[in-house]
Chains A and B, each alone.
Chain A
Amino acid sequence: MAEKGAEKAAVDVSVAQRTSIPSGESAVWADVSPLLEAACKDLGDGDLVHGDNFNLFAAMSALEIMDPKMDSGMVGKYYSVDEAVENGAAPVPISFEKTVDVQCTIDIMDHLLACEATWHKGHSLAQTVFSCIYLLRPDRTSSHALLHSYCRVIRATCKAVVSVVSDARTHETVGRSFLELKQCCNDLVLQFPESLEEKRKSKIEEDLFTMAYGLPLDGDGDEKCLSLLNAVEETISRQLRACKAQSSRRRVIEDVEPLQTNLDLEEGYCKALLCRLRFRKHFYHVLTSMRRPQGRGLELARKHIASCITELECVHKSSKFLRAIASGTCEDGIEDKTTASGSQPIGFDASLNCRLSAPTPPRSIKILSWKKAIEYFSKLLHHLDIICSYSLEPLLEGVLQFVVQFQKSQPDLVARAHLQLLLVQDGKLYGRESIFSVITRAAALPDVTKNHDIQKNEYIMQLGQLVINMLKILCTNAAWQRRKLGKMLQDWRVIYVQLELVFRKDFGEVSGIPDDENVCMKIFQHILVWVEEQTYWIASRFLILGFELELYSPSEYCMVYWYIYVVLIKLVEKKHIKMAARNDTSKQKVKKKRESPKDAAREYRVPPAVLFVQCQIFLVEGLTMMLAALKNEHMILQSPSPFNTEQERFIQHFELLQKACIPDHVSYPSFKESTTYARFSTLVMYNYFKDAQRIAKEVKSSFSNDPEKLAELRKIEQVAEHNSIALNLICRVGALDRSLKVSFEFSHHPYFATAVVKRS
């Protein structure tokens, strides 16, 4: 027994030595596996052996080893990059046969494109682009000019993209975004569990995105990637020319060594490579010129975007040629492949640097297919083009409209980051308009204000910061944006109260004030109105984003539309006051010039911008009342929520608005009060939808040069028309026919519902 023990001990010591994991002083590692096995046999079902400090709940959070979703250290095929390289996982050259080498290089390029798109979609850089062993060892490729130049430009591009996104960050931390997420989930989990994954992803996308610890993003000389790329491009285009000349039996222009050995394929390979290289070149140019200050590079960027799109189309077309050659290997399932040829690329292993993506748990990643990657990049380029063709409008209202419109096309992270960096540079709009002058214009202040001392006022400066924050937040993803806007409402409210206090203190008991002070007073008055208008605009955006994020259940539509209604009423009121004031000042000027009494007497016309909101107001009021009447007359089955009452849900949805008193004196009782008595018999007498339709028709002509507003009006008109018909139908038939089923769809407008009446 003792002998056996000694033998074991010797083995154990060797374990410890081999692993160089030290045991305690004058101690050894004793094997306890047999003991554990025996103990487990003796344990009853569900029994645990644990100490006093054990807490089952805490134990649940233990990291599970060998679980692919939790254990980022799982050893894959290789123990390290070096070992992989030594084992020939990423040979240079890829093959000594030149044709194969070119073919494999193209596969690597394609797979990298797929990886890059996957990264942009929110996965870690380490597990996507840098799963490429060639990228991880920048020096190794130097003898292979083609691969080397491509790897360099990829690294440089990744670095540029990381810098855009990290510069544009709204400085959310992982911890905070999880908290935010939890809040979001509370709203979501009951009704829409399937959309949770999407929401979660969008929350942490930015955090994952910029994580690049330990990756060789700064390869030696990568900043000069373009010169090498150009040289390689030049060589290949000469090879292409040479092979074309040969095939047409013309004289051989110059002594060019062909790209590879199979002359039948020379032209195809040259072309496939050229468009890939050129795409990279132009894409890199796009990124760098878009970063030029004050939007000075936008025009140049547009040219490169156009070239990028052309080259991307060529890349797409090249797949026919590449697939034909590789067809021996595989035919089916090309849709899921990550390369144009459909072959598996050489030199990739995502498990090698999986651990670099810590502290996040590893996610099992499915790299996008090559086709999807191409689609992604053309979408990205399209979005970047929208940004680059933007007129850099100085009027804040226009900026907001542009950003909201841009967000409707659901741009991804990279495009959004670019937009944000364009809008806010050095604390100025586009890096050139001071925020105070932006406010001056937005609040319709007289021109003299621009140099007025008031801009040094502490609260005015804070207001400027709020405007900047708002612009940044509007460029983030919908979930984050909504949460942030909701929280920001309180800041806007506080600044309003503070400005009002200052205003009261300075001009409270004045009469017959001198002209200069008169200007000051006017400025304050205008700013106050504008701050309120802006606050209500944010509130309406906050509410509407809830539809985009599918946060509302059909049983809550009534209260949501009601809240939108009360917010829009306030918005239109402030807008109207502002515009009337603006008209006043401009009219005064006119009067002074012409001094004609006729002009002053001219009939006052409601500005189209006000009518536009008015038309939305009628629509939401109609929807509120229709939903309330359906409920009151028991035509919509209201299954009471098992989890919370209507009042609780009201508080859940509008807590942030209520906290900021937006609007004042609005609460659950006032919602109940205004909807309890809604009946179809009264609704049909006053049909809100008809009014919405009428105004939409009227106001259209005023927006003939604003296609977006026009499209919006057309949609509103459609919703109003459908709902008006539905309303009449329900009124006529509803009382008699109890089998009538009414449901709501977003078929004509993303957030104004259309009623659908069916007989069950």
Chain B
Amino acid sequence: MDQEAEKSSIQAETSEVSNSDSSDPVTRVRNLLFRQMLVGIKDGRFFLGTFHCIDKQGNIILQDAVEYRSTRRSSPSPMEQRCLGLILIPSSCRSSCHVDCAIEEQLSLLKF
């Protein structure tokens, strides 16, 4: 229930955010909590999980994370996946980071 409420509040805020460019990044990142996040790391794996926490150094904690890895270096290749649960991704090995969002929202996220 809480999560739902939060989500709707995020939605509300994001629409607000899209109107005001001045909103500070920390608040906007806070609004991403509980969203699905896809993090790519340097050895080529991806982790998909619920955004749980980030610290000053940029280390991210994901909940209920799933690991995706390709079985071959050359793409395209079949993917293997397995569940890992709570994971911490150090910022040093992070190569990409995406959140799942509607197209209209995406535009607002890009601005700052």
Contacts and interface: CB of A to CB of B under 8 A. Distances in A.
Interface stretch (A78-86, A392-400, A505-513, A660-668): A78-86
B56 A47 contact: yes
Chain B interface: which size bin? 35 or more
Interface string A18-49: 11110110111111111111111111111111
Interface in A40-91: 40-54, 58-59, 61-66, 73-75, 78-80, 82-83
B26 A42 contact: yes
A602 to B, nearest CB: 76
Nearest to B71: A80
A29 B103 CA distance: 9
A51 B3 CA distance: 10
Contacts of A78: 73
A12 interface: yes
Question: In this complex, which of A31, A36, A43, A73 has the most chain B Cβ atoms within 10 angstroms of its Cβ?
Answer: A36
B93 to A, nearest CB: 5
A3 B57 CA distance: 32
A685 interface: no
A2 interface: yes
A225 B90 CA distance: 48
Interface string A714-732: 0000000000000000000
A74 B67 CA distance: 11
Interface in A186-210: none
A40 B54 contact: yes
Contacts of A50: 33, 52-54
B86 A61 contact: yes
Contacts of A5: 106-107, 110
Given A27-B103, A38-B112, A64-B87, A51 B56 contact: no
A9 B103 contact: yes
Interface string B81-100: 01011111111111011111
Given A47-B56, A355-B82, A79 B25 contact: no
A1 interface: yes
Contact of A26 (B37, B47, B99, B102): B102
Contacts, number: 194
B17 to A, nearest CB: 11
Interface string B29-72: 11011101110110111111000111111101100000111111
Interface in A468-514: none
B4 interface: no
B72 A49 contact: no
Given A18-B76, A51-B33, A75-B69, A12 B98 contact: yes
A8 interface: yes
Nearest to B76: A18
Contact of A21 (B38, B75, B76, B102): B38
Contacts of A74: 43
A47 B55 contact: yes
A756 interface: no
Contact of B96 (A9, A33, A42): A33
Contacts of B6: 51
A24 B36 contact: yes
B33 A35 contact: no
A5 B85 CA distance: 33
B44 A23 contact: no
B68 A31 contact: no
A62 B33 contact: no
B99 A62 contact: no
A29 B100 contact: yes
A30 B98 contact: yes
A8 B98 CA distance: 12
Contacts of B91: 40
A82 B55 contact: no
A53 B25 CA distance: 21
Nearest to B27: A39
B54 A35 contact: no
A475 B97 CA distance: 53
Contacts of B93: 65-66
Given A42-B26, A73-B45, A51 B34 contact: yes
Interface string A735-747: 0000000000000
A64 B45 CA distance: 14
Contacts of B57: 40
B111 A1 contact: yes
A27 to B, nearest CB: 5
B6 to A, nearest CB: 7
Nearest to B94: A33
A35 B28 contact: yes
A35 B28 CA distance: 8
A42 B88 CA distance: 21
Contact of A62 (B37, B55, B86, B110): B86
A385 to B, nearest CB: 44
A32 B32 contact: yes
Interface of B: 2, 6, 24-26, 28-30, 32-34, 36-38, 40-41, 43-48, 52-58, 60-61, 67-73, 75-77, 79, 82, 84-94, 96-103, 105-107, 109-112
8 contacts: A21-B48, A32-B29, A37-B58, A39-B29, A49-B54, A51-B34, A73-B45, A83-B72
Given A8-B110, A54-B53, 4 more contacts: A29-B100, A39-B28, A52-B2, A73-B69
